[in-house]
Chains A and B, each alone.
Chain A
């Protein structure tokens, strides 16, 4: 969902205000609201179930894996909230495919919106970088350490 939402925004943000931009950015925001719902569902489940037991034996790998998981959760919610805050400051409504609207987090403020859009982009790019790093780590587990980490990730 994230990997669909981000390209929509990257393409849409550079378009002039028109139908295609409206469609792309509205879908981007709706997918962001979906992500928020998934995050709010997933986090309690993860806290309840506990983190998966690391398969790596090296302590530094275990610590890196745990740090990456926590960072993924934090950056995901930071990306969502910063996008929501930016839309609020820019006086753009945020909703889920017309089913409902989210209330604005902030009062409209052009100067603040200009800052928040940069914050949102920076966080999202950081999140994408972490996802790439995470996938590289999974590949390392699969091909070098030859453990079940990747297969376990794919099972969810």
Chain B
């Protein structure tokens, strides 16, 4: 399923990973209510805050056995927004995300490990530039009453850090962690509509 956040020409796709067919519900991210933000740190630890404005994805939700749920989220790397156009262009450039060659970053889950009724460790793989690396993201989540086109809404918040050097984010002189620190923090807020 494809659901662009905006009508921009940039593609944002969220593909659905199928769980056990009889027990799962196919849910769709509400991009307008969701966010994918990041914080990177540069020289002297000065933060660079930004977000990706175009992304999408689906969740295959198994309410009875949440650990069987799965998701795939695709982020359009050209949609980076730090509120400074020059910085945005730089992040899209070859030495950083190389958005021309790699216009998307994909997070595909492989396991949901519930630690409580409201918390879950989501394991999966992050594909960024030419690299694919495993990630583990702690999420808190809850089901809310109907507030969108779906009958129910899953609201989930997660945050994780990854080594930018493992994904070749920052090449040449930018491999210096004095100039561009490790790691990069990503904070995700997802609101997902789930029809009954």
Binding site for B on A (CB under 8 A): 17-19, 22-23, 26, 30, 90-93, 95, 97-98, 101, 108, 110, 113
Report whether A19 and B174 are in contact in the complex, using a CB–CB cutoff of 8 Å.
yes
Q: How far is the CA of A95 from the CA of B46 in the complex (A)?
A: 7
**Within the complex, what minimum Cβ distance (angstroms) separates B171 from chain A?**
12
Given contacts A17-B90, A18-B173, A22-B179, A91 and B82 within 8 Å (CB-CB): yes
* Contact size range, B: 20 to 34
Q: How far is the CA of A110 from the CA of B43 in the complex (A)?
A: 23
Given contacts A22-B42, A23-B43, A26-B46, A92 and B84 within 8 Å (CB-CB): yes
Interfacial chain B residues near A23, Cβ < 8 Å: 43, 179
Give me 7 other A-B pairs in contact (C-beta within 8 A), A91-B83, A92-B84 excluded: A18-B173, A19-B173, A22-B42, A91-B84, A93-B46, A101-B46, A110-B85
Q: How far is the CA of A108 from the CA of B86 in the complex (A)?
A: 13
Report whether B44 and A17 are in contact in the complex, using a CB–CB cutoff of 8 Å.
no
Interfacial chain B residues near A19, Cβ < 8 Å: 173-174, 176, 179
Name the CB-closest residue of B to A30.
B44
Interfacial chain A residues near B44, Cβ < 8 Å: 26, 30, 95, 97-98
Report whether A93 and B176 are in contact in the complex, using a CB–CB cutoff of 8 Å.
no
Count chain A CB atoms within 10 A of each CB in B42, B43, B44, B82 and give the residue with the most: B44
B163 at the interface (CB under 8 A from A): no
Name the CB-closest residue of A to B82.
A91
Q: How far is the CA of A97 from the CA of B45 in the complex (A)?
A: 8
Interfacial chain A residues near B42, Cβ < 8 Å: 22, 26
B166 at the interface (CB under 8 A from A): no
Report whether B84 and A90 are in contact in the complex, using a CB–CB cutoff of 8 Å.
yes
**Within the complex, what minimum Cβ distance (angstroms) separates A92 from chain B?**
7
Report whether A17 and B43 are in contact in the complex, using a CB–CB cutoff of 8 Å.
no
Report whether B47 and A93 are in contact in the complex, using a CB–CB cutoff of 8 Å.
yes
Interfacial chain A residues near B89, Cβ < 8 Å: 17
Q: How far is the CA of A92 from the CA of B48 in the complex (A)?
A: 8
**Within the complex, what minimum Cβ distance (angstroms) separates B30 from chain A?**
25
**Within the complex, what minimum Cβ distance (angstroms) separates B43 from chain A?**
5
Interfacial chain A residues near B174, Cβ < 8 Å: 19
Interfacial chain B residues near A93, Cβ < 8 Å: 46-48
Q: How far is the CA of A98 from the CA of B45 in the complex (A)?
A: 6
Interfacial chain A residues near B144, Cβ < 8 Å: none
Q: How far is the CA of A19 from the CA of B173 in the complex (A)?
A: 7
Chain B contacts with A in 75-120, Cβ cutoff 8 A: 82-87, 89-90
> What are some 6 contacts across the A-B interface (CB < 8 A)?
A17-B86, A18-B173, A22-B42, A93-B48, A101-B47, A108-B83
